[in-house]
Structure formats: structure tokens, C-alpha cells
Structure 1
Amino acid sequence: MASTLKDVARLAGVSVKTVSNVVNGYPHVSADVRRRVEAAVAHLRYRPNAFARTLRTGRTGVLALVLPDADLPYADDLAREVVHAAGRRGYRVVIEHERASPDPDEGRSMPVDGVLVGGPTPPAALTGVLAAAERPVVLVGGETPDGRWDRVGVDVARAAEDATAHLLRAGRRRIAAIGAYPEEIVGAPQPRTAGYHRALRGAGLTPVAGHLLLALRHRRADGYRAARILLAQPHRPDAIFCYSDALAIGAMRAAFDAGVRVPGDVAVIGIGDLEEGRYSRPTLSTVSVDTKLLAREAVARVAARIDTPDTSVAEVTVPHTLVPRESTRATDR
């Protein structure tokens, strides 16, 4: 027999109304009560009646997770954690790819209560995708293009600065970067680029124009192509900071194909802590992000905005951790 709200309330030692508040994502519930209710929901495997909730509230109980590229390595991890975090709040999740159309509703098979946009996306493309959105939107992990939408993620400028500073501490001085967007050529730098530049200037170094390369998508192939260009320069860099682990893994392959040793000739670091980087040869230094916490905070934020649409735009920052591995290890070069 399926569990009911009363069953959850009895196990958690709270009222049925309190359970309803937690399940529906109301923000004004103490952390201790929320933990007890969520534990009871998980133990009893309680699932709200989506049809009944739609009739009662006019809501669907469905969130959309829009991924700029479902083939990117982080997509599976993020989708799994978002589905889990949403389920604990009584939401189902539909996963969609970024569309060329500026209307996020075009082709959608079902209405949704809120939209989560995951991962790094070029600002121009993101603005086009969300321009017509008429529901709560939360960006998960990417940069906020103009402050119109809530964002949950790491301080990407600080993460980039930490990654670059790690290379500097390893004795590297000709540090290149892969992952800039085309918009940065004529406009202000995006946060990752700003953090990279800040670390260099803090060490008394001037950023070299030819050492900052574009990557329209953060794929391995983009990292490979950009690294081939960098490694063919007369005064090639002795380190490469990549804006994602996928770019860094592609860059390390480019170094291998060019006969360049990692880390002996060039150190490489990324962002994201993909499992692949833990088993690459050499293992990849990275900036690690807690995907489970990221998803939990993002779902909490979109649920709060669904309940109170007129609240001011929020920026929720989750911590990051530098993880040094073999690809930046000091060697006798």
C-alpha cells in the first residue's frame, strides 16, 4: 500500500500541513524539521499524487532540466542529482536539450512549473533560449549573463583564479587558457577569464593575447584543437588552464600526440572533477564541485521561486575545492 501524508507526518513527528509544506518546497520551514520530513519521505518512499496536486494548485509538479549539450560528460551526473533532489520535494523532472528556437516552450511535450538550465552555456545562446520564458528559471553552474535569473553555482571567477594560482605555485609562468567565449573578444571577460587574468596580474605577469583561446563548446575535441594551436607556438606555454575537465582531457591528448610531456613540459588543470580525470594518464588536476549539493540548492531555489515568483533575483554560491593530481605535479623539466 502506498504511503500517505499522514504516514510521513506520524513518522517525522510533525503535522500533515508541515509535511505538505516541505514536499511543496515552502521556504519557511526550519532545517531540522525539513531534514526529519525528508528522511521520513525517503524511508517510506512517499510520492505525492501528482494529479491531485495539479487539480488543487494548478501546478504540474514537473520541472524541466535544460542541458546545453547532453553529450557533455557532466550531464549525466547533474541530471541524476537533480532528479533525486526534485523527487525528494515531490517533483518529477523532464530533461531537454537546448533549442535553436528562442521559445523554451516550443516542442515541449508537457507544461512545467519551473526550468533549471545546467552547465556552461555561451551568454548569447542562453539569452536566446530563455528570452521568452514565462516561468521561474534557475541557472545551475553556469555564469549569469545579465542578472535576470537566479543562479546556483560555484564562484567561477574564484575557481579560475585558484586553478591558475595553483599553476603559478608549481613554478609555471607561461600560462595559457582554453574556454573563452567569442563575446569576450569585443566585450567584458566572462568570470573564468577574469579569474585567470586576476591570478596572472597578482603574480606580476601580463596576460598574453595569443594564450587565450576560444571554445564554443566545452568538449574534448575543442580542448584538443585549441591545445594543438598553443603547443605549436614558437614560445609555447608551460601550463594550460582549461575552463572544464573535458577541455583539459582533450588538451592532454593533444600534448601526447605532439610529443609534449604532461606535466614535464606543460602542466594542465581543469574544472569539474569528472571521474574520467581520476583515471586518465596522468591523472587530471581539477577544481571539484559538489554536484549533489549544487542540485539540491538549485531545486530548492526553483521551488521557492515557484511559490513566490516576485522575489528578487538570488545568487547562491556553493563551495569548490582544488584537487591537485599528476597533471600539475612539479617535475625536473
Structure 2
Amino acid sequence: MRAGIGLREVAERAGVSMRTVSNVVRGTGRFSETTRERVQHAVEELGYRPNTAARRLRTGRSGVLLLAVPDLSMPYFAELAGHLLREAAGHGRTLLVEATGGRPEAELEIVLGRTDPLVDGVILSPLALDDRAAARAGSTAPLVLLGERVHDLPCPHVTIDNTGAAREATAHLLARGRRRIAVIGRQTVPHAATSATRLAGHRQALERTGLRYDETLAPPVAAYHRADGTAAMRALLDLPEPPDAVFCFADALAQGALHAVRERGLTVPGDVAVVGFDDVEEARYTAPPLTTIAPDKRELARLAVTALVDRTGGRAPAESSVLIAGHRLVVREST
């Protein structure tokens, strides 16, 4: 960040007035989406950061937001956090990032606003949040939820059509002539929304082709790490009739599955076709490169930050809404 960067420099770079820059940064006034994008680009390029202390004295808000995700070591959350950081900066906000470990008590504390008092609002990607406990206590900070599970809390929820995306992934394998299609990612713990929504889409695709869902082709996993994918794929390959394709509910699981296939001396996609989910950067460099579902991470970030900025500025009602970002199937050599 360059020293001495202020509103004037940002305004000159963006070709707008200082008042317009101030409005965009504060999320007030009226301006077009094109103007907002120009100012956001200038803010990112120049490394402008508002004076948090002065803003708090002037408006009662700090401009600091919190992002809480289960695990930053997972590539998907790391990449999504990068998009959210850039989007927050474009709104003139500072974004703090922390990992909850997917612990229900940690997620509940965040929902209840028991965070740094400097924080104006929270973007939370929950894994095990207890809606009933949170609703009884009531949230004290503006909140936006990210992820598959649609919660009962009165706040915006930003997600993609996970069931539709999973249906497309399985339909792609069916179109490639695969008929014994396994899934890696089924979970049996409470609140396993990723598993439930993606498994539903997989089953819908099978049913539309007249195939029966076979739970022996859906070994349960404890988590969505590479090791879980490897263990599940080994179990599938040990079946009397192994699968000819596998749809993994995360790219990390798919990377583990690829490893298990290679160690058996089998080929992808010759013996087993593999599809992942998330389109993390590593998916382009696996051997072979991975076919995967690509959520629009940039749009997810834009929807989440805009919704939270609106709520912290009092421009959005405290009620639930579901905001859907796009996705697409990226076909590579693994299928």
C-alpha cells in the first residue's frame, strides 16, 4: 500500500469526483454499477484504505467486516477469501478473516455478534450452526451467510444451485457412456448440507436416465480433504464391480481419488472418469486436468459483500433472502 493515498488520488484515477469516491467507499448516495467498478479498480490499484478511526467517529461504523470460514487450508475457501477481500476493498471496507474449524460453538458465537467490537458485520460460511439457538438469542451484528445450507435466520444467504450443478456433473458422465457412477462426499453427520444438496442432484440425474441409486457406490466420508478422497476411492476400487466413473463433491476429494486410481495402475479417464466440484486453481494442473463444476466465486463475493454493506448501512431490511450466483461445468481431460 502506498503512503499518502487519499480520496483525491482515487478520484483522479477513476475519473470521477471525490464525492463520488466517498459515496462508493461509504456505500451511500447514488451511482451506477460502472462507476462503482471504476472506483473499485482504482481503490485496488492504488491500495487506498480509509481511516477507520475517523470513520467510526464520524459515522459510528468502523468499515471493518469479518469473514469466518471453516478452514483456510482448503483451496476453495482460500480462493473465495481472496475474492471477498478484493470486493470489500472496492467498497472501502477492511475484511478480517478467521477460521472456525467448523465448530458449532464458534459459529454460534459469531452469529451472536460476540466478535471484535470493531466489526460492523459478518460473512459466515457455517458447517454446523444451530439455527434454533441462534434465533432464540438473536443476532446483534448484521450477518450474511455463505454456502449450501439455507438457514432459518433472518439474513441474506448467498449460494449457488448446488443440486442443479451436481445434476449437470452426473449428466456429463452419463453422456460419456458411464453407467456405474460412484460419488465421493456423502456425509451422515447433522447439517451436512453440501452432501445433501449435491447427492440430491446426482440421484436426480440417475433417475432421469432410468438408473438406480446404489449406496454402495457412495461411501461416507468424514471430511472433504484429499486423504478422505483417497480412502473412499480405494474402497470403491475394492468392490466386486468397481465404478467406471466417480463424481466428487469437492476438488480436494477428486485429487485424492486420482491418487488412488493411479496407485492401482489404472488410467483416468480410460478406466475411471473423474469429476470434481469447486474449480480451484489446482484442478487445472492435476494429472490429468480435472473436469469440475466452477462456482462463480467472484459473483459469490460481490453478492455477499454488497448485501452486508447494505445491511451495515441500514439500506436493507433484516430479513432472509436467497441470492444465487452462477456456475458452469468445466470439461477437462479427466472425463
Q: With structure 2 as the length reference, what TM-score do the two structures score? A: 0.85
| Contact 1:241–1:270 (CA under 8 A) maintained in structure 2 | yes
SS of 1:180's equivalent in the other structure is coil
Matched, 1:94 2:99: no
State how 1:179-198 maps to structure 2 within 5 Å: 179-183=185-189, 190-198=196-204
Q: What is the aligned partner in structure 1 of residue 326 from structure 2? A: 319
Q: Distance in 2 between matches of 1:10 and 1:260?
A: 59
Note the 1:66-81 alignment, pairs <5 A. Answer: 66-81=68-83
1:162-219 CA distances to partner (integer Å, 9 max, x unpaired)? 1111100010111111112314799997221111111111111111122223333211
Distance 2:162 2:244 in 1: 23
Aligned position for 2:272: 266
Q: Select the residue among 62, 74, 87 that pairs with 1:60.
A: 62
Among residues 103, 127, 135, which one is paired with 2:130 in the alignment?
Answer: 127
Q: Secondary structure at the match of 1:237?
A: coil
Aligned CA distance change for structure 1 residues 277 and 49 (closer, same or farther; 3 Å): same
Which residues of structure 1 form unaligned runs of 5+? 329-333
- Counting matched residue pairs gives 324
1:216 is aligned, of 207, 212, 222, to 222
How far apart are residue 311 of structure 1 and its match?
4.1
Percentage of pairs with the same residue: 42
CA RMSD of aligned residues (A): 3.0
**CA distance in structure 2 between the partners assigned to 1:11 and 1:250 by the alignment:** 46
Shift of 1:110: 5.0
Inter-CA distance 108–311: structure 2 relative to 1 (3 Å threshold): closer
Once the two structures are overlaid, the 10-residue window that deviates more, 175-184 or 315-324, is 175-184
1:129 and 1:92 map into 2 onto residues whose CA distance is 31
Cα distance change of structure 1 residues 159 and 228 upon mapping to structure 2, 3 Å threshold? same
Say whether the 8 Å CA contact 2:243–2:272 is kept in structure 1: yes
- Distance across 2 between alignment mates of 1:92 and 1:248: 34
Q: Which runs of 5+ in 2 are unaligned?
A: none
User: After the TM superposition, which of the residue ranges 89-98 and 140-149 deviates more from structure 2?
Assistant: 140-149
State which drifts further: 130-139 or 232-241. Answer: 130-139
Q: Deviations over 1:25-75 (max 9, x none)?
A: 348532233234334444554322111111122222111111201221223
Task: Give 2:224's aligned amino acid.
Answer: H
> Are positions 1:227 and 2:233 aligned together?
yes
> 3-12 or 192-201: which moved more?
3-12
Q: Which shifted more, 107-116 or 91-100?
A: 107-116
| Distance in 2 of aligned mates of 1:39 and 1:241 | 38
Q: Which amino acid aligns with 1:98?
A: T
Contact 2:154/2:319, CA 8 A, preserved across alignment: no
Of the structure 1 ranges 35-44 and 302-311, higher mean CA displacement relative to structure 2 is found in 35-44
CA contact (8 A) 2:289 2:334 kept: yes
Match of 2:118 among 107, 111, 120: 111
Q: Which amino acid is the alignment partner of residue 24 of structure 1?
A: R
Describe the SS at the equivalent of 1:235.
Answer: coil
Is contact 1:157–1:195 with CA below 8 Å preserved after alignment?
A: yes
Counterpart-to-counterpart distance in 1, 2:300 and 2:192: 32
Matches within 5 A, 1:1-333: 2-5=4-7, 8-9=10-11, 16-26=18-28, 29-42=31-44, 45-98=47-100, 100=103, 101=105, 102-104=108-110, 108-109=115-116, 111-118=118-125, 122=127, 125-127=128-130, 131=134, 133-146=139-152, 148-183=154-189, 190-308=196-314, 310-328=317-335
| Kept in 2: contact 1:27–1:304 (CA 8 A) | no
In the alignment, the residues of structure 2 paired with residue 34 and residue 186 of structure 1 have an alpha-carbon distance, to the nearest angstrom, of 37
CA contact (8 A) 1:163 1:287 kept: yes
Query: Secondary structure, in 3 states, of the residue corresponding to 2:334?
Result: helix
Give the direction of change, closer, same or farther, for the CA distance of 1:267–1:42 in structure 2 (3 Å limit). closer
